[in-house]
């Protein structure tokens, strides 16, 4: 039986995998993510996910490696991780009262079995209309600097989120339903599944 490796140190992805009951290891990929303005979010996130998965798969050729990359975008413009609090305030303010998209690309790579697959999931997220004080109050409750778009749906999301259309776990960082379906043909099931 192959080992299953999550090529990410994101605590949110680790929690999602653990919560789903998978038997896996965490080995982060030490790669520089691409930021190509010419690529659409699905292409860019899948390319970055594959970059991460291939890096770890080269080091562990006997394993099936999951790579993932999440991008928040508004009006087709990507919102990465803010560099400071002021940028986080600008990002969250720009999302207030509007619908944006969260796209996660996922890659499954195994050198031993020749697996090289990828998919993406897009979720529409609508923010509440927020005052500047409400934006600042929300940001004071989370660490926005390590989160695309400067927010975390799973951390006090009730303060900013009005609606989520599509995969909730995708917004958190890993679309678990779609990932689960992709893992089944490779023999990986969550604990308790038959």
Task: List C-alpha distances in Å: 111 to 28, 42, 52, 53.
Answer: 17, 24, 14, 10
| Catalytic (active site) residue 62 | no
Specify whether the CB–CB gap between 130 and 96 falls below 8 A.
Answer: yes
Closest CA to 104 of 158, 181, 27, 169: 169
The residue assigned the tokens 């994101």 is 10
Q: Which of 30, 69, 84, 146 is catalytic?
A: 69
Q: Which of 34, 33, 29 is nearest to 13 (CA)?
A: 29
Closest CA to 44 of 80, 16, 15, 10: 80
By annotation, the residues acting in catalysis are: 69
């Amino acid at each position: 039986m192959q080992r299953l490796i999550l090529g990410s140190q994101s605590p949110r992805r680790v929690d999602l995998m653990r919560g789903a009951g998978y038997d896996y290891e965490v080995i982060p990929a030490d790669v520089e993510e691409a930021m190509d303005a010419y690529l659409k979010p699905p292409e860019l996130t899948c390319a970055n996910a594959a970059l991460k998965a291939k890096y770890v798969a080269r080091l562990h050729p006997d394993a099936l490696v999951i790579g993932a990359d999440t991008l928040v975008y508004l009006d087709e413009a990507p919102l990465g991780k803010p560099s400071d609090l002021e940028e986080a305030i600008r990002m969250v303010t720009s999302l207030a009262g509007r619908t944006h998209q969260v796209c996660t690309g996922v890659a499954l790579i195994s050198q031993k079995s020749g697996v090289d697959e990828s998919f993406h999931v897009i979720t529409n997220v609508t923010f509440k209309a927020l005052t500047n004080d409400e934006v600042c109050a929300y940001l004071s409750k989370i660490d926005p600097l390590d989160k695309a778009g400067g927010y975390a749906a799973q951390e006090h999301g009730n303060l900013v989120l009005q609606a989520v259309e599509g995969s909730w776990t995708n917004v958190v960082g890993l679309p678990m339903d779609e990932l689960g379906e992709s893992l089944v043909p490779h023999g990986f099931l969550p604990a308790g599944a038959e």
